[in-house]
Amino acid sequence: MMRQRCRRGARRALGRMWERQYLVVVVLAVLTAACATLSPTSPEEEKVRVVTERSAARWKAIINKDYAAAYDFMSTATKATVTPAGFKTIASRINYKDAKVNEVSCEAESCKVKLMITYDSKLMNGVHSPLEEYWVIDKGQAWYVWLL
């Protein structure tokens, strides 16, 4: 009798564990699907929102000197031409202080971002400079294109 109770308890515990694992897998699948929904046919407002958020996040990573995180925003084509070490070498030359996204415009699978960046140079601190970035929509996400 004691052995039967032990077996039933073990079965219940295994059943609950299976349910939790199943729930985790379902939640991860839903989140992954939600993240990978951007396409060239997505509404322009959605593309503008996503590109604005990703551009701001990329610049936040650069300002915080997290070059690996900033590199992860690059398109596949850009990554094929620039290594993480090469990106870090170039991006770390300037002491960036701030970046503000002013305007984003999208057409089909590409977007143009207009920003105002602030950085310190050797001769002057707090230099403001306009900058344009280009992003592409690919594989369900927006990716930064580094024009060399």
pLDDT of residue 148: 75
Q: What is the pTM of this model?
A: 0.75
pLDDT at 88: 97
Using left for φ > 0, alpha for ψ between -120 and 50, and beta otherwise, residue 65 falls in left
Taking the chain (148 residues) in runs of 10, the rounded mean pLDDT of each run is 57 56 38 63 96 98 98 97 97 97 97 98 95 97 94
Strands across the sheet containing 110-120: 95-107, 110-120, 127-138, 141-145
- Per-residue model confidence as pLDDT tens digits over 96-116: 999 999 999 999 999 999 999
pLDDT for position 22: 41
Residue 108: the pLDDT is: 93
3-state secondary structure of 87: helix
Would you give the end-to-end CA distance of the chain in angstroms? Answer: 75
The whole-angstrom separation of Cα 142 and Cα 46 is 11
Which alpha helices (H) appear in 39-125, and where do they start and end? Answer: 44-63, 67-71, 76-81, 84-91
Find where tokens 């930064």 sit.
Answer: 144
- 147 vs 128: CA distance, rounded Å: 21
